[in-house]
Copies of this chain bind each other. A is one copy, B any other.
Amino acid sequence: MAEDRRPYRRETQEHRREALITAALELMAEGGPQAATVRAIAARAGITAGLIRHYFQSKDDLTRAAYATLMERMTAESLAASCATDDPAAQLAAFVAASLRPPVMDGERVRLWAGFLHHVRRDPKMHAVHEATYLNYRDRLQALIQALPGKGDPAKARVLSIACNAVIDGLWMEGGTLSDSFAAGEMEQIGLSAIAAILNVPLPPPPPAPNSAEVP
């Protein structure tokens, strides 16, 4: 009796792990942590549930990997924007603006991040990822600030970077969760003028947000 068994292809470990992480993040973003069950994740990744445990020791293990991936992605996206110019003030402005518009400032991102908070508390490994990511982001911000004329003092720059980072995070959070309450581009403007005030330094207008039209 040939029972019809689901056909499949063997894939590399890297491919499968990546697909599982992507599926987990998507599901968490759409329906919250409770939506990311092993079965739902497996289905979206195109495999059956049992295979998850072949690539991750447990579901928590997969969760950790997904969190690390998310945080690395967010930092990378923000950093990329500041590389287009050599002027320190313009770099800072681009960095801030990139953090306050899509895809970084986005409701799903905020909810995704929020959904991980409790895991971060409980799991030391996730706490380490959290702290490292935050400090990495803030250090980069501090470096941009120290590069400004007259802002070379590291101790002062640290305090300023904490404040500026808070402005960015707060606006990111509010813009993501209440996007209807703000006009397009309003968060970038507010963030830039607030940071210019905190630093007591003029900031040039940031590069415009890229349209959805891309090079083919």
Contact = CB atoms under 8 A, between A and B. Distances in A.
Interface in A162-210: 162-163, 165-171, 173-174, 177-178, 181-182, 190-191, 193-194, 197-198, 200
B178 A166 contact: no
Interface string A103-135: 000010011001101111110000000110011
A88 interface: no
B163 A174 contact: no
Nearest to A32: B118
A156 to B, nearest CB: 11
A43 B112 CA distance: 30
Nearest to A171: B166
Contacts of A174: 134, 162, 165-166, 169
Interface string A67-107: 00000000000000000000000000000000000000001
Q: What is the oligomeric copy number?
A: 2
A51 interface: no
A194 B163 contact: yes
A181 B174 CA distance: 24
Contacts of A193: 163
Nearest to A166: B170
A196 B71 CA distance: 32
A62 to B, nearest CB: 16
A122 to B, nearest CB: 8
A31 interface: yes
Interface of A: 31-34, 107, 110-111, 114-115, 117-122, 130-131, 134-135, 159, 162-163, 165-171, 173-174, 177-178, 181-182, 190-191, 193-194, 197-198, 200
